[in-house]
Amino acid sequence: MESELHSIGELARASGLGVGTLRYYDGAEVLTPAWVDPQTGYRWYRPGQLADARLLARLRRVGLPLAGIRAVLGAAPGSGEARRVLDAHLRRLEDGLTDARRELSLIRAMTDQREQPMTTDPADPAELRLTVPAEGLAAALDAVRFAVGGDPEVPALAGVLFEPDGPVLRLVATDRYRMALAEVPATGGPTGHPVAGTIVPTPLVDALRALLGPGTAEVSLTLGGGGGGGGGGGGRVRAEAGGHRIEGTALDFDYPDHRALTRLEPEHRITLPAAELRAAVEAGATRTLPSGPHGAECEVTVLTLTGDGRLAVAADPAAEDFRLAVNRDFLLDALGAGRPEQLVLELGGPIAPLAIRTPGRSGTFSVLMPVRLPEPHEPHERPDRPGPQQRPEPS
């Protein structure tokens, strides 16, 4: 019999697998020898097993898990099971590479900032006076107000960053789980050098929004100077419009750098009506996960893509190849901010932020941080509302 079989050493040399590796796969019942000598314990393999060993070596090189290797080698001819396993593994590799590229891009941006920090020009005036259209400022405030932080442990986020940038005034709000940005045309802004932003506290933001009533054409803003390149620095904030004036003190903190979080490299861009997506999220299934501030449990919506590229709310996330989980309430807030009719959603991998944009307003968008979905065996995942899968059509 031995003359018709290959020893384990011969199979190792012919396949490129080590002897110890072949013993491991024997114990794992993936590639078992045709015969084991009861006296010596030597393993012997049929000539036909050489092809399986060579295939096994290639599957190991591409990182296919043990269960996948077992499924490929055990697949019935013509069943298509081996191809399905390999296709699923390829998608996982591609998703992982995309996520790694995105993270490395953010890391490069963050290291560049450490090496070349933004500084305020000594020539910056103590005060900066801007003129902005009232309607545009009202729309910008409506687009970012929902994302203002309320955690007393992070007081720097309890307001909106007003950041002059050449011909525009950029507004930024974040509570660390979501971020919203909006731009409005401005005259009188700085040119040629960066200027620190001013954190306008939430009560003053709301008072400013109330000042922007119908019939008001322009708003005169005076922002106090000082602070570092990340925003803040205190000072006075004054707004005058329609014969009325409000004034208050800016928050004297450094605002987190928003640029690194908004350098996104999405893999998918989907345009669809805001009302249809809102209806799908409201009626769709959710999961309850510790995704809120301080680990509080919140309802989570899992977005996925259908085979024809449409956006869907997943009824069974475990059955989907692409899954992006976000806090449901945060998502609904972002969909309603500014009352857009159309939306552009930019999706990356499962650990990439979700960007929600309004067509035609490139500087106005929201970013939601993803929620990690636990594996099915993890005990803290609890299905909540099993709704039908909703599939809004792209426009």
Three-state DSSP string of the chain: CHHHCEEHHHHHHHHCCCHHHHHHHHHCCCCCCCEECCCCCCEEECCCHHHHHHHHHHHHHCCCCHHHHHHHHHCCCCCCHHHHHHHHHHHHHHHHHHHHHHHHHHHHHHHHHHHCCCCCCCCCCCEEEEEEEHHHHHHHHHHHHHHCCCCCCCHHHCEEEEEEECCEEEEEEECCCEEEEEEEECECCCCCCCCCCEEEEHHHHHHHHHHCCCCCCEEEEEEECCCCCCCCCCCEEEEEECCEEEEEECECCCCCCCCHHHCCCCCEEEEEEHHHHHHHHHHCCEEEEECCHHHCEEEEEEEEECCCCCEEECCCHHHCCCCEEEEHHHHHHHHHCCCCCEEEEEECCCCCCEEEEECCEEEEEEEECCCCCCCCCCCCCEEEECCCCECCCCC
The dihedral through the CA atoms of 186, 187, 190, 195 has a sign that is negative
What φ, ψ does residue 384 adopt, rounded to 5°? Answer: -115, -75
Helix axes 274-283, 328-336, angle to 10 degrees: 160
Write the burial class of residue 24 (CB in 10 Å: 0-12 exposed, 13-18 middle, 19+ buried).
middle
The CATH fold of domain 264-385: DNA Polymerase III; Chain A, domain 2 (3.10.150)
Query: Dihedral (C-alpha) 222, 224, 225, 229: value to the nearest 10 degrees?
Result: -100
Judging by DSSP bridges, how do beta strands 43-45 and 35-36 pair with one another?
A: antiparallel
pLDDT of residue 351: 76
Q: Please identify which residue in the block is written with the tokens 């955690």.
A: 151
Write the burial class of residue 60 (CB in 10 Å: 0-12 exposed, 13-18 middle, 19+ buried).
middle
Residues of the chain with CATH 3.10.150.10: 127-249, 264-385
Q: What are the Cα distances from residue 222, in Å, to 98, 188, 269, 305?
A: 44, 10, 38, 46
Amino acid identity, residue 208? L
Among 3.10.150.10, 3.40.250.10, 3.30.365.10, 3.30.70.20, what is the CATH number of 127-249? Answer: 3.10.150.10
pLDDT of residue 118: 44
pLDDT of residue 370: 87
pLDDT of residue 117: 47
Classify each residue of 147-156 as buried b or exposed e, where b means 16 or more C-beta atoms within 10 Å of its C-beta. Answer: bbbeeeeeeb
Query: Dihedral (C-alpha) 189, 191, 194, 195: value to the nearest 10 degrees?
Result: -30
pLDDT of residue 191: 65
Range 2-74 has CATH code 3.30.360.10: no
Question: Which pair of structure tokens corresponds to residue 371?
Answer: 């929620």
Distance CA 344, CA 360 (A): 10
Amino acid identity, residue 98? T
Residues of the chain with CATH 1.10.1660.10: 2-74
Q: What is the pLDDT along the chain (395 residues), one digit of tens a residue?
A: 455 888 999 999 999 888 888 998 998 888 999 999 888 889 999 998 999 999 999 998 888 888 899 999 988 988 889 999 999 889 888 877 776 776 676 566 556 555 554 444 444 446 789 999 999 999 999 999 999 998 888 899 999 999 998 899 999 999 988 999 999 999 987 665 556 789 999 999 999 999 988 888 899 999 975 444 444 456 889 999 888 899 999 998 888 887 766 666 777 888 989 899 999 999 998 888 876 666 678 889 999 888 778 888 988 777 677 788 899 999 999 988 867 788 888 887 777 888 998 887 878 889 898 888 775 544 444 445 444 444 443 33
pLDDT of residue 56: 93
